[in-house]
Structure 1
Amino acid sequence: MNRALLCGGFSVLQVPDDAVAQVLKSYLKPLSSEQQSFDLDNIEAPRNIKKAEELFQLWCSHHSVLKNVELHTFYNRYDFIESRLCESDAKTATTSQQRYFLHFKECNNISYQLYFNLRSFTTSHNINFSFDLTNHFLTPELKEKFRKQLKFRISVRDIRDTTRQNPSGSYRSNFDIVNRKWESAYGVKTFFHEFDKFVKFLHKHFSDGNLQSLQAWAYGDALDHVLVQMHWPHELMIIALGLDKVYLDKRYQFHHEILTNEKRDSELEYLNDSYQEYLVLMELVREAGTALDPYQKHN
């Protein structure tokens, strides 16, 4: 039987050396990521970029969609879709005061990338979503005949709400993310609310390799009052992938007239070259049997 020792008026019970540790171990088991909670209402603004990195990583680890997609964090510019944008020290520039957060996934031979660049706590953010459709539509043999990759990105600023207009008449952005600065708890909280909406929007329209929504936006149709305003190279590419020569010609003429009237000669030359390339692309996609289903424009 253990005895009590008297030491300076305090009684200390003799126990085996590892007994307390074993008891604590049984009660204080590490929480799994599923058991932990993320209390968005009680977060504090991060004091430095390292704390900001940890906060974003923690939020992603609890998000219903993003927790299932690996998050890659870089200290300098990096891009899985556009390799020419990658810096050699992206993984080693640990003193950098910015972070590049990239979620990357492949599905049905389509590469997807969600990109968020946190540059500082007081400036706007760079957020976009990129695709590489090359392997989905072209076989390795056909890629030799079409040297360009079928890739593009959608800036969060390009996603518009057709029920809300600016004084200029343009549609307002559907997501108020880029200007939600991280210098205050309120800014961080509202950023995460908007980023959550953005991620769920992407998941709704692009999960499981779905490209029907992308096709609708290329034709200028709004879905649930949301329209993605595409730049003409991406718009014409999607139309070509559906083998719609009639509408491809119509949109080519539309953009040709605008660029001609505005005397934007270099872009006009690019448009003409791209149009010829998309005619070739249509034949290759037809040969591969991978074309998008025909689309009937709604508006």
Structure 2
Amino acid sequence: MKPDRTFTAVLLLLCALTLFDAMGLIIKHLSPRYSAAELSAYRNTFGLIPSLIVLYSSSDWHAKGRIWRLRQWRLALARGAILTLAQFSFYLSLGLLTFATASTITYANSLFAVALATVLLREKVGWVRWGAVLLGFIGVIWIVRPGSDSFSPAALLPLGAAVCYALVGVTARVMDHDVPTPLINLYSSIVALMGAVILALFTGGFTPLDRASDIWWLVAMGGFGGTAVLLLIMSYRIAEQSNLAPFNYFGIPLAFLLGWVFFDESPWDELFPGALLILASGLLIVWRERRLKRA
């Protein structure tokens, strides 16, 4: 009996989200001793290993002569620079906010992706998806609470990261279709590594390792992040994105649970009902896109 590839893809996706959150936990754990730029540099350094594995295991890349040069190399470099800003903002927010709050706000990237697609890709977006975007923005504002006594400027960091992550995702669709995805990912990772190193040097340099065990934390951080990207690529290759998209939001309750278990955080007042609105808006966008595809 042929295995259900969609079920396999969902499992790969859930494993990827778990690894991304594990990476975030390590970043938050190390934040008191190392800057966000340093952590980003280490993450991209050790994350290159899984990226290279994905590239060399890509039959598409081998079939096309193992190309390294991209026609749109300037766009590839720009995507890496944007990814640098996204990582720096998100990693910095993990050291300043509760784990669940920082993680949840970044899930607004799907909302920004819809808005950016109308500008950059000239996609037509109907009132249902615009309504979903508006609902999601209300959820974000509810969490960030600008103008209130509880407002923290640090809450703008994961919001900025969400915009950058959305821009990285949307610009990937502008790249030539015959370019293997792992090669595009490798370009972004290398540029993000160089950008993180430059940021670290301009923000105080690299801190000597505080303890021997930290090297293993750094290796695990990069390995988790790089492997998560690998699993994401695998999952989206064997199943349609519309079938997987609803499961992306599994990361919101998972982040809350992990923050509670490892850091004794339970930011109910910060996250709810804003997180539910972000979740509802994302699922509404997924539902509408699936309806349009079937039509």
TM over 0.5: no
More helix by percentage: 2
* Structure with more relative contact order (C-alpha pairs < 8 Å, separation 6 or more): 2
TM-score by length of 1: 0.28
